Amino acid sequence: MKNYLSLIKFSHTLFAMPFALVGFFIGHVESGAGLSWKLLGLVVLCMVFARSAAMAFNRWLDRDVDAINPRTQMREIPSGVISPKAALAFVLANCLLFVATTYFINSICFLLSPIALAVVLGYSYTKRFTWLCHLVLGLGLALAPVGAYLAVTGHFSITPVLYGLAVLFWTGGFDVIYALQDEQFDQSQRLYSIPAAFGKRRALGISSSMHLGTATLMVLAAWILQQNLTQVNALIWVGTGIFLGLLVYQHRLVRPDDLSRINLAFFTTNGIASIVFGTLTIADLLMG
């Protein structure tokens, strides 16, 4: 179990989970229905199954590339801890569990589940042909708040879509920062990434632009929520402000000539930002 949790970097589920929960509770408050713990549990399971399938598939598909990259040689598949066949079986099991779970939510989630899987699994191929791969990864995580809202209400709404787009640019931006580590390796293997295509300095500028888009979308989403839901007050703005402040801090940690603090920028800062934002926003929604 420990090896499989490491394979899928289970702790990274924290990045998108708070946004999924925000989408769920927006739907709960807007619909006026009583809180269903069963439905909440099903939404959380969908997040876990979809992300587990996506991460394991990415590791399976990239196993040959990971084996020759000094940074990734000790990952579970190239190091022999988990066999390729076992990893692929794990992917298939999680895909089936994801689809089965959506069946018990509602018909629209069930019908859209193959599309969601196509997005989160398809990302793994994109580094082979486009430097827009970072945004495809972001699109996979962007489904979280939208899907969770759909689970509650059965229809789309502008606010979870805005949060989904914010997640898209947020994830794309921090993935560009993470990819700075592999700039030369990606170039040598003809793999596509923004750092490999544009260099470190310009890549950081592109990442900053993506995060500016995140800031704009999150402020707009918070404003719309406050206009539509009278119980939304100050906490959502505090959470949004802290989230955006940590984005700024993230960019101050990394320079083209100093990548030593990438893990702090990528893992710690983004995890804290997401948890704080999600906690304060959900508290605001429920306190009304």
Per-residue pLDDT of 136-171, as tens digits, reads: 999 999 999 999 999 999 999 999 999 999 999 999
Decide if pLDDT at 120 tops 70. Answer: yes
Q: Which pLDDT belongs to residue 10?
A: 65
Range of the domain at 68: 2-287
CATH of the domain at 261: 1.10.357.140
Average pLDDT, the chain: 94
- Please give the tally of structural domains in the chain: 1
CA distance 219 to 230: 17
Residue 37 CB neighbours (<10 A): 7
Verdict on whether the full-model pTM lies above 0.85: yes
Instruction: Assess contact for 142 and 165: CB atoms under 8 A.
Output: yes
CA distance 189 to 200: 17
